[in-house]
């Protein structure tokens, strides 16, 4: 269910311990969720390399809660293909970010 939900999600809620959930744009690629933060993108307090976070996915059609999933964030330098996919996913603005995180989910 998580894989199917993340394939359709353009944005997810990320909750870091001790912080309120933040809505961020995300892109599902290579069995991980790629998240951009800072710059013109949403800041996510508590998101850092190796941080344990909770990712909440809502239905794109009804906005109802679909799933909460624990993930580990890894500060990443995306390859060219992933960078282009992240930029393309942000059709309504020119994305400018300070950090890219690859969120990995436990099996």
62-92: per-residue pLDDT in tens? 777 788 999 999 999 989 998 888 888 776 6
Tens digits of residue pLDDT in 17-26: 999 999 988 8
CA-CA distance, 53 to 47, in Å (whole number)? Answer: 8
Write down the pTM of the prediction: 0.86
CATH number of 1-105: 2.30.110.10
Select the more confidently predicted residue: 19 or 9.
19
Give CA torsion, residues 2, 84, 24, 78, to 10 deg. Answer: 80
Q: What is the DSSP letter of 97?
A: -
Report whether pLDDT(59) > 80.
Answer: no
């Amino acid at each position: 269910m998580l894989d199917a939900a993340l394939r359709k999600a353009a944005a997810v809620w990320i909750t870091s311990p001790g912080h309120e959930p933040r809505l961020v744009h995300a892109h599902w690629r290579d069995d991980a969720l790629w998240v951009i933060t800072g710059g013109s993108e949403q800041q996510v307090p508590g998101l850092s390399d190796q941080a344990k976070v909770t990712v909440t996915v809502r239905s794109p059609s009804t906005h109802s809660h679909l799933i909460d999933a624990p993930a580990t964030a890894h500060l990443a330098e995306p390859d060219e293909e992933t960078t282009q996919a992240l930029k393309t996913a942000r059709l309504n603005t020119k994305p400018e970010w300070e950090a890219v995180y690859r969120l990995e989910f436990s099996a």
